[in-house]
Chain A
C-alpha cells in the first residue's frame, strides 16, 4: 500500500485528480465512483488497523523494547484505531449515498 504513490500509478492518480478539479463530472458517474470508493474505504480501514496494530506489536515485542517504546505504540494505536473506525463510517456513508451530488 505504502509506495503506491511512486511511479506511474501515483503520478497518474495525482494528474487525473488535478484535471478533475477543473471539469464537472456527470452526477450519476460521480455518485457511482463515490460508492465504489466507499467500498474501498470500508475494506481499507480494518486492513490498515490490523497492519498498524501488527507493526506496533512487533515493535513492542522486539528484543530490547523499553517501556517508553511500549507507551509510544499504545498511544499511537489508541489514537489510530478510532480514526480507522471513522474511515469505515465515511466509507459506509459514501456507499449509502450520503455524499451524492444532487445538483445538475
Chain B
C-alpha cells in the first residue's frame, strides 16, 4: 500500500497525465461530432475531389494514421522516454485542433482549405496514436504493485470524459449562440478553446518527472536500441502482441464503439431522435456510467483483470441487442399512440435558392403522441417553372427530413439502456491499461502495447459505425424488410466480441506480470 506522500505524488501524476489525455480525446472527438458542419464548410457537396479528401480525412486518420502514430511515438517513447514523447503528442494534437478552428473555409480560400483540414486531421490521428500508450505506461510505471488497475483506471476514464466534454461544449456553444450563428462561425469555438486547455496541460506536464522504471532502465544503459524489432521481430513478444489484439483489444474496441458511438448513431439516424436530446441523454448516461472505470479497475487489482474484461465482453454479447431493442421500443413512434386531432400541417412557398423562376415548397407536418412525443416531417420540393427543362428532369427531390422529439417518460428508460452499455464498456476498458502494461517488459512496453490497442480500437472499433450502417442498409434490399432491420448492424460488433471472448477466455494468460519481475531481461 502506498503511504500518504506516495499517494499524493501519485495523484499528481494521475491528474497531470489524465488532463492531457482527456484533452487529446476532446480534440479528436470535436472533429467527429462536428463532421457534418466541417464537411459543408470545407468539402463542398457534389464535388468528387472534395468528397475524396473528406473520405481520406475520415478514414485515414482513424485506420492508418492512428496505428502508425502508435508505432512512431511508441518507438520514440521506448527510446527517449515517456515524458517527452507524450508532451510532443499533446503539442501536436493541440496545435492541429487549434488550427482547424482558424482555417478559412472553402468559399474563402478554395482548395487550400480542404487540403489543410486533411493534413491537420491526419496529425490529430498521429498524435492520438502516440498519446494513450504513453499515458497508460507512464501512470502504471509510477503505480505500486497491486494497485495498478485502480490508478490506471483514471486514464481509462479520459476517453469517455473527453467525449462528454466535447458534447457539452458543443451543446453549450450551440444553445448560447443559436443554430444559425453556430453553423456560421460558432463551430470554430470548440476548436479554438483547445489551445487554452493544451497550454495549461503542457505547463503541468513540463513539471513532471520521467517514469521511475524507464529512468532506472536508462541509468543502467538497458534502453532498447530498436524497439520495433524487439517488439515485432522477437517471436516471444510478437505472439503476445497478436494475442492481445485478438484476445483483448479487438473485442474491447467493438464493445466500446457500440456502447458509446453506435448507440448515439442508432438514436440519431435509425430512430431519428432530435440531436440535442440524444447528446444530452448520452452525456447523462456517460456521467452515470463513468465511475465504472474506476470501480472495475480497482476490482481488477483484487480478483484479476482478465476475468472482469471477459465477463464484460460476455455480458455485451448477451445483452446488447436487447438493450438496443429496448431503446428502439421507446424511441420509435410506431409503438406510440397518436393524438390525431392535434396533428398540424403547414405549407410555405418561397423562391428556390439560386433561381428567379422556380419555387420551393416546404411542407411541415407535426404529429403529437400521448406520451408527449412529437414527430416533425419536413418535406422540401422544388417546383420548376419549366417542367420540361433538363434541370427539372435531372433533379431529384430530397427525402423528407424527420425529427422525433421524445416525451419525458422515454428519457430514463433510454438513458438506463445506454448506462448498461457504458457499464459493459467500463468492464472491458477499465482494467485493460494495467493488463496491457503488465504484459510487456519496460524497454519495449510503449511500442508493444500501443499498436494492438490502436488496431483494436481504431480499426475494429472504428469500423463499427460504417459496417453496421452498411449492414442495416443491406437489409433494406430484402422485400420482407423494406425499411431495413434496425438491429442488423449489431451483428458485426457482437460477432467480433464473441470471437475475442473465445480467444481471450481460452488463451489469454491470467497472471503474466513483467512489471514486478526483476526488470529487464
- Say whether B239 contacts A79, CB under 8 Å: no
- The answer, yes or no, to whether A83 is at the interface (CB within 8 Å) is yes
**A interface, over-half SS:** helix
Select which of A1, A68, A87, A98 is within 8 A of B246 by beta carbon.
A87
Q: By the criterion CB–CB under 8 Å, are B463 and A5 in contact?
A: no
Interface residues of B in 472-521 (CB under 8 A from A): 491-492, 494-495, 497-498, 501-507
Asked if A3 and B491 make an inter-chain contact with CB atoms under 8 angstroms apart, the answer reads: yes
- B506 and A33 within 8 A (CB): yes
Question: Do B317 and A5 touch across chains, with their CB atoms under 8 A apart?
Answer: yes
**8 interchain pairs (CB within 8 A)?**
A3-B491, A5-B498, A17-B310, A17-B502, A21-B505, A37-B503, A66-B52, A89-B242
Determine whether the beta carbon of B495 is less than 8 Å from that of A5. Answer: yes
Complex: chain B residue closest to A90, CB-CB: B242
* A76 and B463 within 8 A (CB): yes
Question: Quick check: is B408 within 8 A (CB to CB) of the other chain?
Answer: no
Let me know if B310 and A18 touch, CB within 8 A: yes
Question: A2, B492: Cβ atoms under 8 Å?
Answer: yes
Cα separation A78 to B239 with both chains bound (whole Å) = 22
B63 CB contact (under 8 Å) in A10, A68, A76, A90: A76
A54 within 8 A of B: no
* Residue B208 is within 8 A (CB to CB) of chain A in the complex: no
Chain A CB within 8 A of B80 CB? no
Chain B residues with Cβ under 8 A from A1's Cβ? 495
Query: What per-residue 1/0 map shows which CB atoms of B32-47 lie under 8 Å from chain A?
Result: 0000000000000000
Chain A residue contacts of B269, Cβ below 8 A? none
The closest CB in chain A to the CB of B508 belongs to A99
Count: A-B pairs, CB below 8 Å = 121
Query: Which residues 40-95 of B sit at the A interface, judged by CB distance below 8 A?
Result: 48-49, 51-52, 54-56, 59-60, 63-64, 67
- Which of B63, B310, B491, B503 makes the CB contact (< 8 A) with A2? B491
Given known pairs A11-B318, A18-B310, A34-B506, the reply for A5 and B497 (CB within 8 Å) is yes
Which chain B residue has the least Cβ–Cβ distance from A3?
A: B491
Residues B498 and A98 in contact, CB atoms below 8 Å apart: no
Known interface pairs A4-B495, A21-B306, A98-B239; A72-B501 also in contact (CB < 8 Å): no
How many residues on the B side are at the interface (Cβ–Cβ under 8 A)?
Answer: 45
The answer to the question of B123 belonging to the interface, with a C-beta cut-off of 8 Å to chain A, is no
**Counting CB contacts under 8 A, is B455 at the interface?**
yes
Closest 8 CB pairs of A and B: A68-B51, A18-B314, A5-B494, A14-B317, A2-B491, A17-B505, A68-B55, A90-B242
Q: Which residue of A lies closest to B320 (CB)?
A: A5
- Contact at B243–A99, with CB atoms within 8 Å? yes
Asked if B245 is at the interface (CB within 8 A of a chain A CB), the reply is yes
State the Cβ distance, A10 to closest chain B Cβ, in Å.
Answer: 6
Beyond A5-B498, A67-B48, 12 additional contacts (C-beta under 8 Å) are A3-B495, A10-B498, A13-B501, A15-B318, A20-B505, A21-B307, A66-B52, A67-B51, A68-B52, A76-B463, A87-B242, A99-B507
Most chain B C-beta atoms within 10 Å of own C-beta, residue among A14, A67, A83, A86: A14
Q: Which A residues between 11 and 28 are near B, CB-CB below 8 angstroms?
A: 11, 13-15, 17-18, 20-22, 25
- With A5-B497, A99-B507 as known contacts, state yes or no: A67 contacts B243, CB within 8 Å: no
B471 at the interface (CB under 8 A from A): yes
Q: A13 near B243 (CB under 8 angstroms)?
A: no
B477 CB to closest chain A CB (Å) equals: 12
**Contact assessment for A75 and B491 in the assembled complex, using a CB-CB cutoff below 8 Å:** no
A9 to B: closest C-beta gap in Å = 9
* Residues of chain A lying within 8 A (CB to CB) of residue B315: 14, 18
Are the CB atoms of A93 and B242 closer together than 8 Å? yes
**Docked pose: A4 CA to B242 CA in angstroms:** 23
Residue among B48, B239, B314, B506 making CB contact with A93, cutoff 8 Å: B239
- Residue B459 at the A interface, CB < 8 A? yes
Contact B60 A5 (CB under 8 A): no
